[in-house]
Amino acid sequence: MTQALATLLEHAQRQRDEAQLVLMQAEDLARRMLAQTEQLRTYRGEYAARSPARGGRSAPIALLRCHIDFMQRLEQALAQQQQQAEAAEGRAVMLRQALIERETRVASVRKLIERRSEARQAQDDRRDQRHADEASQQRAWRLSAQALPLAG
């Protein structure tokens, strides 16, 4: 393997490794965002169940307004959290594709190195065969040259 190909392989592997790390971080963030979204949904459900007017109970208007206002803020927070979770998952999808591209690059460089090695081996084999053929031919000529004076 030439030094240039070795350097190219190292560079491609380093880029792939970096992409793996970034992807792992992005996937972790996406999981945490999704967990936070689920926590907000659960809390929203629990808070809605604690409505002051639940079950036909009477409650002061101010308390109802506070409850409704807080429910609206919870809905806004949940919508924002869902957007952030979707964005984090979208980024993870992009980074997965980038990782696949980098893994393909590493595989391509390895295949190139393998092909070059096979080509060099085939060239060496042909050279060795040519030398063996020449040596065999020279041996045959020497034997035939030695045999001619004996026959005469």
In the predicted structure, residue 151 carries a pLDDT above the cut 60: no
For the chain, domain boundaries: 3-151
pLDDT of residue 71: 95
Question: For residue 123, which phi and psi values (nearest 5 degrees)?
Answer: -65, -45
Q: Amino acid identity, residue 100?
A: I
Q: What architecture (CATH level 2) is domain 3-151?
A: Orthogonal Bundle (1.10)
Predicted model pTM: 0.71
How far is the CA of 48 from the CAs of 35, 56, 63, 66, 78, in angstroms? Answer: 20, 14, 13, 12, 14
**Which pLDDT tens digit goes with each residue over 79-138?**
999 999 999 999 999 999 999 999 999 999 999 999 999 999 999 999 999 999 999 999
**Which pLDDT tens digit goes with each residue over 22-31?**
999 999 999 9
